[in-house]
Amino acid sequence: MTNTSEQLLDIEKIRKDFPILHREINGKPLVYFDNAATSQTPKQVIDCIVDYYETKNANIHRGVHSLSQIATDAYEAAREKVRAHFNAEHSHEIILTSGTTHSINLVANGYASILKPEDEILVSAMEHHSNIVPWQILCQKTGATLKVIPMSHKGELEMETYKGLINENTKLVFVNHVSNALGTINPIKEIIEIAHDVGAKVLIDGAQSAPHIKADVQALDVDYYTVSAHKICGPTGVGMLYGKEDLLNMLPPYQGGGEMIAEVTFEKTTYAGLPHKFEAGTPNISGGIAFGAALDYMNSIGFDAIAAYEMELLKYATSELQKIEGVTIYGTSPEHKTAVLSFNIENLHPYDIGTLLDKMGIAVRTGHHCAQPIMEFYKIPGTVRASFAFYNTKEEIDAFITALKKAKSMLL
């Protein structure tokens, strides 16, 4: 890589933090380019989970004993780290969930008792299934209408059409900050402003942006924002729902159970305040604490340096990939997206390419990436998706390009 990128990150030191990057797959060094599906986990986060079970394990928020208090303090400290990272005003606006899917379903379920049949909700054409299906279920329950903000061939949202679709019946707008299938960074600030002009609330699915962009929920004035820890160097099974305090207070509870109540009798139950109202049952305690550790880790590297380094990787990979004959890259230019390359090679099925790359130690995703409407839009069965993280290298991209050429010659 150029001198500048070496200065951006101490990549050798960073790679030492990730034990898995040093293993082999099918007898070849692992090249992990499936970061948009899940990121790898640094030693600091793994150690945090081990430390929890070795020194802190107890149920939280209920024990009178010291260990329970130690676990509770660690869990609440993690919530505070999440709050600070996304710059929420209050830590009780951070609901710790099992991930983005849970977060979205929590909100969708809440609106089932609020929406009316004349209401409309807008989703973008480039959503992950988890930001489509819950809203379809919501519309079935309430009779509200689901409308779609279309995208262009370049893989960008059609903002003029959006402005035409939105009206005073629009109650909710759902858009991902970054598309998982294409990497497109959507103009969410503008989308939010336009929605607020008609009084609609906006949920931004931040699952794919969080690993690359530090979102400030207050500056964005976003109503709900969702994240999965496992895409941002944290463990699976934990994530967040940010919601503005008044909106979260307005929503009914999602699940009933322990922890979320103030008082229970068989006649009537009153609910706990935020955030506990939405955190029924024993949560993923070690996961929540490790989510905080993952944010610490990412921040110690720095999001500006991460973004700049990943942009260099993306530009390099894009130009190398374009040199291969028959390649079509889907989506916008590197400047307008995160480090995702979604592509096909003429006359080859993405699955066959992915299978051969795997034999050469290279992990990419193939298929529809849980975003079938995008594939339908391009009239393709799927794509090969290579997605990069800050711990990937130019050498790995070289290995990927070499393997891709080899796969092409074997298949054609």
Ligand X SMILES: *Cc1c(COP(=O)(O)O)cnc(C)c1O
Active site residues: 370
Query: Interface with ligand X includes 366 (CB under 6 A)?
Result: no
Query: Interface with ligand X includes 342 (CB under 6 A)?
Result: no
Q: Which is nearer to ligand X, 5 or 100 (CB)?
A: 100
Query: Interface with ligand X includes 39 (CB under 6 A)?
Result: no
Q: Which is nearer to ligand X, 176 or 366 (CB)?
A: 176
DSSP H helices in 100-224: 100-111, 133-142, 159-165, 188-197, 217-220
Total residues binding ligand X (CB under 6 A): 12
**Least Å from the CB of residue 134 to ligand X:** 11
Query: Interface with ligand X includes 186 (CB under 6 A)?
Result: no
Q: Which is nearer to ligand X, 278 or 316 (CB)?
A: 278
Query: Interface with ligand X includes 205 (CB under 6 A)?
Result: yes
Euclidean distance between CA atoms 20 and 389, whole angstroms: 14
Query: Interface with ligand X includes 375 (CB under 6 A)?
Result: no
Q: Which is nearer to ligand X, 72 or 180 (CB)?
A: 180
Please select the residue that binds ligand X; options are 228, 284, 344, 387, rule is CB under 6 A: 228
**Least Å from the CB of residue 117 to ligand X:** 28
Peptide bond into 134 cis (omega under 30): no
Query: Interface with ligand X includes 383 (CB under 6 A)?
Result: no
Euclidean distance between CA atoms 262 and 258, whole angstroms: 10
Query: Interface with ligand X includes 106 (CB under 6 A)?
Result: no
Stretch that binds ligand X, among 40-48, 78-86, 203-211, 400-408 (CB under 6 A): 203-211
- 358 in helix, strand or coil? helix
Query: Interface with ligand X includes 41 (CB under 6 A)?
Result: no
How distant is the alpha carbon of residue 347 from its chain centre? 32
Amino acid at 164: G
Please select the residue that binds ligand X; options are 208, 338, 366, 392, rule is CB under 6 A: 208
Give first-to-last CA distance, the chain, whole Å.
32
Q: Which is nearer to ligand X, 180 or 392 (CB)?
A: 180
Q: Which is nearer to ligand X, 103 or 286 (CB)?
A: 103
Widest distance between CA atoms in the chain: 71
Which has the closest alpha carbon to 240: 213, 217, 273?
A: 217
**Least Å from the CB of residue 112 to ligand X:** 20
Taking CB under 6 A as the rule, which mask of x and - marks residues 74-103 in contact with ligand X? -------------------------xxx--
Please select the residue that binds ligand X; options are 56, 83, 85, 128, rule is CB under 6 A: 128
Q: CB of 178 within 8 A of CB of 186?
A: yes
**Least Å from the CB of residue 312 to ligand X:** 23
Query: Interface with ligand X includes 207 (CB under 6 A)?
Result: yes
Q: CB of 382 within 8 A of CB of 375?
A: yes
Amino acid at 193: E
**Least Å from the CB of residue 199 to ligand X:** 26
How distant is the alpha carbon of residue 397 from its chain centre? 23
Beta bridge partners of 61: none
Query: Interface with ligand X includes 259 (CB under 6 A)?
Result: no
Query: Interface with ligand X includes 276 (CB under 6 A)?
Result: no
Q: How is residue 91 annotated by DSSP?
A: G
**Least Å from the CB of residue 283 to ligand X:** 15
Q: Which is nearer to ligand X, 178 or 251 (CB)?
A: 178
Q: CB of 36 within 8 A of CB of 365?
A: yes
Query: Interface with ligand X includes 180 (CB under 6 A)?
Result: yes
Q: How is residue 152 annotated by DSSP?
A: -
Euclidean distance between CA atoms 381 and 376, whole angstroms: 8
Q: How far is CA 33 from CA 37, 235, 281, 385, in A?
A: 9, 18, 36, 8
Q: How far is CA 339 from CA 187, 225, 385, 396, 400, in A?
A: 17, 21, 10, 14, 15
| Contact footprint for ligand X (CB under 6 A) | 99-101, 128, 130-131, 176, 180, 205, 207-208, 228
